[in-house]
C-alpha cells in the first residue's frame, strides 16, 4: 500500500515537472529554432484594390518588403514578410486586423483609401505598430509615409512639354484625392515651366482599377490631337498603355507617347512593328514606395519606429524621381538636360513645386 502511494506521488512529481518544462518552452517560443524565429522582426502589408501586381503603387510597396526580407534573411510567410490582397474597400479593416492578430511586428496599409481602416484597427490594437502610405493617421502606434509626388510629376511635365509636337498633352487621374492633386499640380507646373501655351486636358477616371476606362479616356484624348499622356491612376493607367500601343502599331509613323507613374513602367510600352521593338513610354514619374517601405521597416526593426509622426520623402530623400528617358525620342539629350537642370533647382530649394491647384495658380518660374 505504501509502495503504491509512493509510486503515485512520484508520478505526480514527474508529470508536474514535464508540464512546467513545457510551459517554460512555450514562453520562449518552444524549441531553440522557434525561439530564433520569434526574435526575427516580421512585417506585412495590405494592398488596396489595385492588387499586388498592379505594375504600379502596390507592386512597388511589395518590392520594398521583399527587399527588406531578403536583406534580413526572412522568408515570405507568417514568420517573415507577407501581404494580403484586398478585393474591395470592405476588406481593408479585416485584412489589417488579421495581420495584426497574426503577430506581425509592423503592418502597412498601402494607399490613401485605407486611412480610416488603419485608424480604426490601430485604436483597437494599441500594442501593435502600423504604417500607412499616402495619408496621415495621428495615432501613437501609426507611422505615416507621405511623398512629394509633385516633384516627380514636375519633371514628368518637363519631359512631356519637351516631347510634344502638337502642344496638346493629357493627364489621367485616378480619383480626386490629395495625393493625385499633388501629381496633377506638379505635372501642370512642369509643363508650364517649359511652355505656358501648351494645353493640358485633365480628366479623372474615378477609380484606380478600371483599365478599360483608362483606355477609353486615352482614346478620346489621342483622337483630339493629344500626343503625350501622363497618368496617375494605378491600374486604370494600364488602359492608357494599351491604347498607346494599339495606335502605334496601327500607324507606326505617328508619334504617340505615354508617361508612367510610381515605378518604371517602360516594360508596358513595348510594341513590335515589322519585327522591330518600339516603346511608347517616354519615362515614368517614380514614387519610390519601395524605398520608403524598406526604410521605415528598417527603422522599426532597429527600435526607431516613428509612431505618431509623418515622414515625407522627396527628391532630396530619393523618395521620388524620374525613370530613364526613352532612347527613341529624337531630342532625348535635350529632355535629359532640362530634367537635370530642374531637378537641381528643386533639390536646392530654388524652386518650390506646387502641391495643390491653389498653389499652382500663383506658381511662377521667373
Q: Provide the edge-to-edge strand list for the sheet that holds 43-46.
A: 81-84, 43-46, 106-110, 129-133, 142-147, 310-313
DSSP letter (8 states) at residue 47: -
Q: Does residue 146 contact residue 311 with C-beta atoms inside 8 Å?
A: yes
| Confidence bin at 14 (pLDDT 50/70/90) | very low
137 shares its domain with 169? no
Please, which pLDDT band fits residue 366 given cuts at 50, 70 and 90? low
- Whether residues 296 and 276 share a domain: the answer is no
- 122: cell is 490601430
What does pLDDT average to over the chain?
Answer: 90
Q: What is the per-residue pLDDT across 314-337, written as a single tens digit (0 to 9) for each?
A: 999 889 999 999 999 999 999 999
CATH number of domain containing 137: 3.40.50.2300
My answer on whether 156 and 121 are in the same domain is: no
Q: Is the pLDDT of residue 9 over 60?
A: no
Verify that 133 and 192 share a domain, yes or no: no
- Do 168 and 99 fall within a single domain? no
* Count of structural domains, the chain: 2
The pTM of this model reads: 0.81
Domain identity same for 159 and 280 = yes
Residues contacting residue 116 through CB under 8 Å, at least 6 positions apart: none
Q: Which domain holds residue 219?
A: 149-286+330-361
Candidates 356, 344, 357; CA nearest to 158 is 344
Q: What is the pLDDT of residues 100-138, one digit of tens each?
A: 999 999 999 999 999 999 999 999 999 999 999 999 999
User: What pLDDT score does 38 carry?
Assistant: 54
Q: Are residues 191 and 337 in the same domain?
A: yes
Amino acid at each position: 500500500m505504501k509502495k503504491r502511494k509512493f509510486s503515485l506521488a512520484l508520478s505526480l512529481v514527474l508529470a508536474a515537472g514535464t508540464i512546467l518544462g513545457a510551459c517554460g518552452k512555450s514562453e520562449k517560443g518552444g524549441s531553440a529554432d522557434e525561439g530564433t524565429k520569434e526574435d526575427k522582426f516580421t512585417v506585412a502589408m495590405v494592398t488596396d484594390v489595385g492588387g499586388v501586381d498592379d505594375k504600379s503603387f502596390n507592386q512597388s510597396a511589395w518590392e520594398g518588403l521583399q527587399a527588406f526580407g531578403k536583406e534580413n534573411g526572412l522568408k515570405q510567410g507568417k514568420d517573415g514578410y507577407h501581404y494580403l490582397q484586398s478585393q474591395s474597400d470592405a476588406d481593408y479593416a479585416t485584412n489589417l486586423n488579421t495581420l495584426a492578430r497574426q503577430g506581425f511586428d509592423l503592418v502597412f496599409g498601402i494607399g490613401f483609401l485605407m486611412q480610416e481602416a488603419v485608424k480604426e484597427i490601430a485604436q483597437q490594437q494599441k500594442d501593435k505598430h502600423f504604417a500607412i502610405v499616402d495619408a496621415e493617421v495621428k495615432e501613437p502606434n501609426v507611422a505615416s509615409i507621405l511623398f512629394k509626388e509633385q516633384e516627380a510629376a514636375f519633371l514628368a511635365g518637363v519631359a512631356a512639354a519637351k516631347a510634344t509636337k502638337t502642344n496638346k498633352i493629357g493627364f489621367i487621374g485616378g480619383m480626386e484625392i490629395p495625393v493625385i492633386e499633388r501629381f496633377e499640380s506638379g505635372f501642370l507646373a512642369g509643363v508650364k515651366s517649359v511652355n505656358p501655351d501648351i494645353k493640358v486636358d485633365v480628366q479623372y477616371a474615378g477609380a484606380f482599377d478600371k483599365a478599360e476606362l483608362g483606355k477609353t479616356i486615352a482614346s478620346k484624348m489621342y483622337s483630339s490631337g493629344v500626343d503625350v499622356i501622363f497618368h496617375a491612376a494605378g491600374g486604370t493607367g494600364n488602359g492608357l498603355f494599351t491604347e498607346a500601343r494599339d495606335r502605334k502599331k496601327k500607324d507606326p509613323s505617328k508619334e504617340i507617347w505615354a508617361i508612367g507613374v510610381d515605378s518604371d513602367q517602360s516594360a508596358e510600352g513595348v510594341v513590335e512593328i515589322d519585327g522591330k521593338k518600339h516603346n511608347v513610354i517616354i519615362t515614368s514619374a517614380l514614387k519610390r514606395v519601395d524605398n520608403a517601405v524598406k526604410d521605415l521597416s528598417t527603422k522599426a526593426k532597429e527600435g526607431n519606429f516613428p509612431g505618431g509622426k509623418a515622414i515625407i520623402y522627396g527628391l532630396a530623400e530619393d523618395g521620388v524621381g524620374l525613370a530613364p528617358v526613352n532612347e527613341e525620342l529624337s531630342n532625348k539629350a535635350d529632355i535629359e538636360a532640362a530634367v537635370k537642370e530642374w531637378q537641381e533647382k528643386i533639390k536646392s530649394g530654388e524652386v518650390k513645386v506646387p502641391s495643390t491647384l491653389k498653389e499652382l495658380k500663383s506658381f511662377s518660374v521667373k
